[in-house]
Amino acid sequence: PQLANQIAAGEVVERPASVIKELVENSLDAGATDIHIDVEKGGSKLLRVRDNGQGIAKDELTLALSRHATSKIHDFADLAHIVSLGFRGEALASISSVSRLTLTSRPASQDAAWQAMAEGRDMAVQIKPAAHPVGTSIEVLDLFFNTPARRRFLKSDKTEFSHIEELVKRLALSRDDVSWTLTHNGQLVRQLKAVTDDAGRQRRIQQLCGRSFAQSACYVESQYEQMQLSGWILPAAACSAQLQCQYSYVNGRMMRDKLLNHAIRQAYAEMLAPEALPAFVLYLQIDPEQVDVNVHPAKHEVRFHQARLVHDFVFSALSQMLTQTAQ
Ligand code: ADP
Ligand code: MG
């Protein structure tokens, strides 16, 4: 089974940023509202995610680390309307198969925390008492220590950390009700407070996408049947290669979806100067039954059951807004 984990790790764990993505998605699935991310040496030495989510009970710790163990899907029918970010039960098993992983957790129902450790192939999980507030910390040391070919494939600390920074930006844009802290080699890199009002929302978009984007972007909100589109788009006239900011989310998941990108580009097509790029932060909410997220292990793509309808809705909502702002 450990070999299978290492193979699966190749799909889920490409680099330090992909570990952070899996860990943070677990924190969000656990209802966390405060997430701390600590990184050392671009993540090759240490990756740590600490959350204040619901925690993992002592007798489930070992299970959380084993393959295909997920607490999020109970039967086949659940697959049709996935609302959690994770559902494969593969991430922790994969990550621990290529690192030294420590999982420390305390659910509100326990007055003490417990810790489980797994190291590479041996996977002899030991459990011992630990100190931790309600929530979970996962520490990943020496990523790829036992797969030297993959370790050599890592880029410089600076490059790996820039991937992490970009990821945290995408995540922070997806959930403004969560506080985020990011450190690298002990230095604070980002601190974002949970948003509670419009001023806070404006501040966060400015912190993440820059002042010029925040100042010129228009807020979009549109609804059709079971679909809702909201977010910010830059009027075509304000778009430039410098103000690049292209983020889209489907039901809170970060996406690089072809269909959405196409609809967005098409809405801008007529109006955009040749050297300019569309800039947007868009959130599409759609009935989970209408979208299949089980397409790709890293979950960047989705499949819409009514692709045409989704495309046309996004296109017309945006082109309406862009035409208005062009006048
Ligand atoms: P998946 O997210 O697909 O269920 P993972 O391997 O990522 O699989 O996680 C396995 C299980 O461990 C999850 O289903 C969840 O029950 C538990 N878990 C992992 N991280 C956390 C966390 N931060 N807080 C609470 N539970 C967690
Ligand atoms: Mg997960």
Mean pLDDT is lowest, of 104-108, 131-135, 212-216, 241-245, for 241-245
For residue 177, which of 282, 51, 34, 55 has the smallest C-alpha distance? 34
Domain boundary among 161, 192, 223: 192
Ligand nearest to the CA of 103: 1
Buried b / exposed e along 164-195 (16+ C-beta atoms within 10 A) = bbebbbbbbbbbbebbbbbbbeeeeebebeeb
Inform me whether the pLDDT recorded for 12 exceeds 90.
Answer: no
- Residue 187 shares a structural domain with residue 317: no
For residue 177, which of 11, 31, 76 has the smallest C-alpha distance? 31
Cα 266 to middle of ligand 2, angstroms: 34
Cα 301 to middle of ligand 2, angstroms: 17
Atom in ligand 1 nearest the alpha carbon of residue 51: 23
> Does ligand 1 lie within 6 Å of residue 107's CB atom?
no
Residues 6 or more apart from 270 whose CB is under 8 A from it?
A: none
Asked if 323 and 309 touch (Cβ cutoff 8 Å), the reply is: no
- With cut-offs at 50, 70 and 90, classify the pLDDT of residue 297: low
Closest residue to atom 10 of ligand 1, CA basis: 64
> Does ligand 1 lie within 6 Å of residue 89's CB atom?
yes
Cα 24 to middle of ligand 2, angstroms: 8
Cα distances from 226 to residues 133, 158, 232, 284, in angstroms, run 40, 43, 20, 11
Q: Establish if 203 belongs to a structural domain.
A: no
- Residue 94 shares a structural domain with residue 214: no
Cβ-in-10-Å burial (0-12, 13-18, 19+) of 273 comes to exposed
> Does ligand 1 lie within 6 Å of residue 26's CB atom?
yes
> Does ligand 1 lie within 6 Å of residue 56's CB atom?
yes
* pLDDT value of position 79: 59
- With cut-offs at 50, 70 and 90, classify the pLDDT of residue 241: confident
- Residue 233 shares a structural domain with residue 291: yes
> Does ligand 1 lie within 6 Å of residue 38's CB atom?
no
Atom in ligand 1 nearest the alpha carbon of residue 90: 6
Mean pLDDT is lowest, of 26-35, 113-122, 149-158, 219-228, for 113-122
Please state, for a pLDDT cut of 90, what percent of the chain lies above it: 70
Mean pLDDT (whole number) for 279-306: 84
Q: Establish if 130 belongs to a structural domain.
A: yes
Mean per-residue pLDDT over the chain, rounded: 89
Closest residue to atom 17 of ligand 1, CA basis: 64
Determine the structural domain holding residue 266 and report its residue range: 210-326
Q: Establish if 198 belongs to a structural domain.
A: no
Ligand nearest to the CA of 91: 1
Asked if 284 and 227 touch (Cβ cutoff 8 Å), the reply is: yes
Q: pLDDT (tens digit, 9 = 90+) per residue, 157-209?
A: 999 999 999 999 999 999 999 999 999 999 999 999 999 999 999 999 999 99
- The CATH number linked to 215 is 3.30.230.10
Based on the structure, what is the number of domains in the chain? 2
Question: Which residue out of 70, 73, 137 has the highest number of ligand 1 atoms within 8 Å of its CB and is therefore the one to mutate?
Answer: 70
> Does ligand 1 lie within 6 Å of residue 90's CB atom?
yes
> Does ligand 1 lie within 6 Å of residue 28's CB atom?
no
Inform me whether the pLDDT recorded for 7 exceeds 90.
Answer: no
Q: Establish if 197 belongs to a structural domain.
A: no
- Residue 288 shares a structural domain with residue 185: no
Atom in ligand 1 nearest the alpha carbon of residue 89: 8
- Residue 315 shares a structural domain with residue 219: yes
- Residue 151 shares a structural domain with residue 186: yes
* pLDDT value of position 254: 86
ipTM of the complex: 0.98
Q: Establish if 202 belongs to a structural domain.
A: no
